Amino acid sequence: MITSSSTTIAKKLFLFFLIITGLYYGKVFLMPFVIGGILATLFLPFCNWMEKKKIPKGIAVFLCFFTLFLFLSGLVALLSWKISEVINDITLLKDKASDTVVFIQKYIYSHFNISIEEQYKILKEEKPSYSNMVQMLLSSLAVTLTNLILVTAYFLFLLYYRSHIKQFILKLTAISEQQAMEQIIHKVANVSQQYLIGLSKMIVCLWIMYYIGFSFIGLENALFFAILCGFLEIIPFVGNITGTALTILIAAMHGGNLILIGGIAITYGVVQFIQGWLLEPLMLGPQVKINPLFTIIALVLGELLWGIPGIILAIPLTAMLKIICDHVETLKPYGFLIGEIESKKSTNSSFFKKIKALV
């Protein structure tokens, strides 16, 4: 006999799969919208501060966009300059690539008895035409340009119409519950801003620490690798290992010795220790901390649904979902499930409170 509780569970599961399906098929619309929304949330404090200084809302929103544009342009210019330095020694890279190709060809010949001539023949047959490659490149550029325009539009309009959207949400709520809903909106927006600003501060601190460590051990293009490793820290578990592995690989290709490679590994370990035990508790806080199980689930779902952008957005979105769950009474069990297990007697809590008070 089917009980009401089992029917409720079935409805919740159906709703969950319906949301997942909507996220997958609606990614063309949702991905730029979510990116624009996250950027708008990040700039909310700055926009509110300017409006309090009697700056008109339209000008304040434009100044937020101009600040974002300057920051991203400077970052892209810096990375482009450093990337050109990294691949400056093209002869060395070609020699390494040639040696690798020869090794693979010999391995295939010795283990699969396919001659080098036959290997070249297979490659020629599988080689895509230049027209198809150009068509794919132009299509990719068109999609990227369209998404950039959409992200910019969503960023500007979500910032400008934020009060209008808030009033719309309140109008959907019963009059008796509007005050509680307004408090929930305020709390969720406030904690989300703190999380995103804290995440940005942590990335900047990681850039500084990686740069100091890489410069100390004598790694060439230390600034580029510091920015790379810092950015990839957004993706837990996978990002930090990927950034360090790429740094070690490129250093080895440019003739780095064992001492340099060991120095990179030690720098990575020290930065990870400081990040895990000091930066995350101070800048992100326990209220948005996700346990490792749901971190992995979020990353896998993000990649399945939206690809690489989904991996980058998975953790911020899951953290913001946890914030909403923690502040909505009926969703609190889900926030508890996603979050870390908090010990009742934390020996570090008073220590972190004192440091936060100083900061």
pLDDT band for position 99 (cuts 50, 70, 90): low
Tokens of 300: 């896998």
307: which residues sit within 8 A by CB, 6+ positions away? Answer: none
- Residue whose pair of structure tokens reads 């089917």 in the numeric block: 2
Tokens 């740069």 locate to 211
Reported as a single tens digit per residue, the pLDDT across 305-321 is 888 788 878 887 888 88
Residue 344 has pLDDT above 60, yes or no: no
Convert the pLDDT of each residue in 160-173 to its tens digit: 999 899 899 888 88
DSSP type of residue 345: S
| Complete DSSP assignment for 231-276 | HHTTSTTHHHHHHHHHHHHHHHHTT--HHHHHHHHHHHHHHHHHII
Task: Give the CA distances from residue 183 to residues 16, 43, 326, in Å, rounded to whole numbers and listed in that order.
Answer: 26, 20, 13
Average pLDDT of the chain is 78
